[in-house]
Structure 1
Amino acid sequence: MIKLKPLTPENLPSFYKWIKDEEAIIYSLSIFQAMKTDQQIEDWYAQAISDKRNSNHGIFVDGVFVGYAGISGISTINKSGEYFIFIGDKDHWGKGIGTQVTQMIVKMGFEELGLNRIMLSVSVPNVGGVKAYERAGFVLEGRYREAALRNGEYHDKLVMSVLKSEWKP
């Protein structure tokens, strides 16, 4: 069973392991690529849990903390935000958790946060992510060419969004 809960200081130790795992962060936030010390991770985490412009949630599967997801850059004027998800626990990859969490966060964005549009960007090589977003109702809007550099190679990022008027819960 998947539950979303607020991030707490007790969740921090998992991030030390995940952010130092190159495979876990390959398609994630660029800032994760730059963090090398525990102090950098602590500083980022403290900012993440205190930032009120974002809706951050821990992902728990059968009580085990496996990642986090939410909506960042929430604009109350434009009624929009940017979806993100990071499943750091590789034992939980490929099990449909990303799709379910995406659906849960989109629902929260529309029903609780009153958003009209939720967008995201995803690396083209992240095929599982693209499929999860499509299953959750996101549609392709465009492409950022050679927008990310990982392992010495550039790859494109896709821009996708879902509108409240098109969303099917």
Structure 2
Amino acid sequence: MIKLARMHPDEDACFYPWIADSEVIQYSLSAFQAMKTPAQIDDWFAATLRDEKSLNLGIYLQETDTLIGYAGISNLSATNRSGEYFILIGEKAYWGKGVGTAVTKQVLALGFTEHHLNRIMLTVSELNPSGIKAYTNAGFVVEGRLRAACCRDGLFHDKIVMSVLKEEWQPSEV
């Protein structure tokens, strides 16, 4: 159903409606909360494509090559053999259909096999049960809680810290 691939510089406009939709970015990258113009999104997107310390991949529908989101691993550390997982599914029509779990499993496979990581972690809002479920289904386990670490709509809430170690990771067909 989906495939992961490098994004192209001309795909920045795909992010305009996603970042403008408060529901899509509610639990995503804090920087998205401040982006209001296409120029700001273009600058972020260009920097994302140049970021050599991250694995940034587009989430594409396999049959049509339509970009529906992006995912990857940021803060790649060769020394610690670790990184931080992220995902944004911008097209809401694909929410709740297992895309998040499938993408997460594919990115974990890339992280552990091609990038030789030992640990991949993430933080997820406690108010995002769908995200927590997808991450748990992909093999992440809860490590702890960052109290009042996120502020959305003027309210603070906790972020859950989750990780998966290579020794715990169970390769699966994705």
Q: Return the alpha-carbon distance in structure 2 between the equivalents of residues 52 and 22 of structure 1.
A: 29
Distance 1:163 1:46 in 2: 31
- Give the gaps of 5 or more residues in structure 1: none
Task: Give the aligned partner of residue 131 of structure 1.
Answer: 133
Deviations 1:91-135 (A, max 9, x none): 111110000000000000000000000000000111000000000
Length-normalised TM-score, structure 1:
0.98
Deviations 1:74-105 (A, max 9, x none): 00000000000000111111110000000000
Residues 1:142 and 2:144 aligned together? yes
Task: Give the distance between the partners of 1:75 and 1:64, measured in 2 at CA.
Answer: 31
Find the aligned partners of 1:48 and 1:64 in 2 and give their Cα distance: 19
Residues 68-79 of structure 1 aligned to structure 2 (within 5 Å): 68-79=70-81
Q: Equivalent residue for 2:58?
A: 58
- Matched with 2:11 is 11
Q: Which amino acid aligns with 1:117?
A: R
Partner Cα separation in structure 1 for residue 95 and residue 6 of structure 2: 21
User: Which of residues 102, 106, 113 in structure 2 aligns to 1:104?
Assistant: 106
Q: How does 1:77-116 map to 2 (within 5 A)?
A: 77-116=79-118
Give SS of 2:150's match: strand
Which aligned segments of 4 or more residues in structure 1 are displaced greater than 2 angstroms? none
Question: How far off is 1:21 after superposition?
Answer: 0.7
Q: Where in structure 2 are there 5+ consecutive unaligned residues?
A: none
With 146-155 and 75-84 compared, the bigger mean Cα shift is at 146-155
1:31 matched residue in structure 2: 31
Q: What secondary structure, in the 3-state scheme, does the structure 2 residue paired with 1:72 have?
A: strand
Q: What RMSD, in angstroms, separates the aligned Cα atoms of the two structures?
A: 0.7
1:119 aligns with 2:106: no
- Aligned counterparts of 1:127 and 1:49: Cα–Cα separation in 2: 30
TM-score (norm 2): 0.95
- Does 1:159 find its partner at 2:161? yes
Q: How far did residue 10 of structure 1 move?
A: 2.4
| Count of residue pairs brought into register by the alignment | 169
Q: CA deviation at 1:161?
A: 0.2
